[in-house]
Amino acid sequence: MTTADQKRAKQSHKTICTHDGAFHCDEALGCHLLRRTEAFAGAAVDRSRDAERWGAADVVIDVGAVYDREKMLFDHHQRGFEETFGHGFATKLSSAGLVYKHFGEEIVRKALREAAGGVDADERTVRKIYLKMYEEFIEGVDGNDNGVNVYDTDAPAKYKDNTNLPARVKRLNPAWDEPSTPERQMEQFEKAVALTGSEFDDMLGYYAEKWLPARAHVERALDEATRVHPSGEILLLETFCPWKEHLYELEAEREMKTIPKFVLWRDAKGYRVSTIPLNASSFEFRKGLPVAWRGLRDAALSELSGIPGCVFIHAAGFIGGNDTYEGALAMAAAGLEME
């Protein structure tokens, strides 16, 4: 919580009401998100299933069986509830998703302003991060809380994942052999709010301060592609950065006819040459490094390829290294020409 938030907290008389008993990731995160807004900064949390206490609260989440934005009621358990985030996302919302849908842009706008020392971001940037945070963070909470399988299959899971955020929140509930008084539950619930909030804020900071600025580097690489290689199919990044998603998005926006096949960048030991996957989650690539060179290293690779300074080419052919820029460029150029 920022100093300004703390100051508002002392002045705040607002109350967020949610259910008591066992708590979950979605309402814990929902409380954090509400506290990140101007209206509910520093709001107290009341955990109850008493309808009179709901009526006295300023906002009610994850309880009450009503979704009504105007009345500040954000539950998703009622029959017939099928609300989604929209924008191409089909996962049914949890209470966290409902809060984010209505207040997320304000939260993102505030975070961007804080990161920029008080300067407001343009609305296109706000919308981009707003959608990105739903895709990368909130939708997973929605899907988990609503019992949506990640994969369309009835096969049993091949492994357990007990390190995800909902699982960690679940473990904060008082254990079966511990006291479960309202005071103890509230103490643990506030820990869950802090945990989910910290994870959300960290990811929002990453996308706002690290991921989004990388787009400018990818744009420059595309603008200067033909200076790197006449084909325009080899890109040089000024520095390594998160480039894949930006590249695919820019290709679509520019309706590019010449599609890059390799990306070069400098690291601590020289230069890397990377293939470009078919999509951000694919292991298949548009064009691989030469098959005959894969799995070789150092002098053996330099001798066979005729390119000085070779360090390696991965056995799968998706990445390689060279001591110099000229060598890495030659490796990528060979990848364009050879099978």
Tens digits of per-residue pLDDT, 266-292? 999 899 999 999 988 888 999 999 999
Longest dimension (CA), the chain: 81
pLDDT band per the 50, 70, 90 thresholds, residue 64: very high
Distances (CA, A) of 296 to 246, 268, 270: 31, 21, 17
Distances (CA, A) of 144 to 49, 74, 191, 320: 23, 18, 20, 38
Mean pLDDT of the chain: 94
* pLDDT higher than 50, residue 1: no
Query: How large is the average pLDDT for residues 7-34?
Result: 87
Distance (Å, rounded) from C-alpha 262 to C-alpha 286? 9
Distance (Å, rounded) from C-alpha 107 to C-alpha 34? 9
* Residues of the chain above pLDDT 70, percent: 96
**Lookup: tokens for 279:** 């999509």
pLDDT band per the 50, 70, 90 thresholds, residue 322: very high
131-163 pLDDT per residue, tens: 999 999 999 999 999 999 888 877 777 777 888
* pLDDT higher than 70, residue 9: no
Query: Is 277 in contact with 259 (CB distance < 8 Å)?
Result: no
Query: How large is the average pLDDT for residues 312-316?
Result: 97
| Helix ranges restricted to H, the chain | 3-11, 25-35, 51-56, 95-115, 123-133, 139-145, 165-172, 182-206, 214-223, 225-228, 244-254, 298-305, 325-337
